[in-house]
Amino acid sequence: MPWRNGRYVPRETTSPIETPVSPKKIQNIARGAFQTTNLRSENFEDNLFDSTLVSRAFAASSFTASFLLRVIGKSTFTAASGLRGLFGSGFVNSSMIENGSITGAKITNPIKIALIDGGAAGNHTVSGLTIQDELIGVFEQNGTSGILTDLSTEFSIKTSDTIDNTGGTATSGDKLLIFYLSK
């Protein structure tokens, strides 16, 4: 039966581990008997750490997130290193992505547009706007002629759902067309 230390270990056979690597070498690695300069991939045989050896040597769920964070340095792996296949779909969510790190075709509907009624200079409500968002442009559409006037330099985001142009142009009777980058 594939049991180890009182635990059932799936995928383990009752036959002894057959590995081309000497048990002494594996023990030295586990004890940390190698100098840091020797722990480079070119210093190990090609198949030293394959999935078969690791799954036989360690029980399922041995490598918890907290353990891996302790033993693997930050920035050890890169997306270019071919490790994407290790992670399932949905593994990365937006909280794990640095602001500004995704550009171009990877961006999904980042530019938002709002059309609101104008009013006296001051606060104007734009539902859905957040303090992290970036104002791209604010245009006043004249209610009579329909002409657009760029008032972007007058406006800023002060709080969520609010843009402000205190001391700026009054837009009563007109519409405001707001473009912003949703972050």
Cα gap 177→112, rounded to integer Å: 11
User: Residue 21 has what pLDDT?
Assistant: 59
Nearest by Cα to 156 from 175, 128, 131: 131
pLDDT of 148 strictly over 60 = yes
Tokens for 65, please give them.
């997130």
Strand, helix or coil for residue 26: helix
pLDDT tens-digit map of 90-112: 667 777 777 777 766 666 668 89
pTM to 2 decimals?
0.46
pLDDT tens-digit map of 64-73: 778 777 777 7
pLDDT tens-digit map of 13-47: 555 555 555 667 666 666 655 555 555 666 666 66
**Residues 75-89, buried b or exposed e (16+ Cβ, 10 A)?**
eeeeeeeeeeeeeee
Nearest by Cα to 170 from 148, 151, 153: 151
User: Residue 57 has what pLDDT?
Assistant: 73
pLDDT band for position 80 (cuts 50, 70, 90): low
Segment 166-182 shows an average pLDDT of: 94
- DSSP labels, 131-142: TTSEEEEEEEE-
Contacts of 60 (CB under 8 A, 6+ apart): 9, 10
Share above pLDDT 70 across residues of the chain, in percent, rounded to a whole number: 62
Domain spans in the chain, listed from the N-terminal domain onward: 3-86, 111-181
pLDDT band for position 58 (cuts 50, 70, 90): confident
Cα gap 61→15, rounded to integer Å: 22
Instruction: Please tell me the total number of residues recorded for the chain in this structure.
Output: 183
Q: Taking the CA atoms of 157, 163, 167 and 171 in sequence, report the sign of the dihedral they define.
A: positive
Strand, helix or coil for residue 157: strand
Residue 164 near residue 131, CB atoms below 8 Å? no
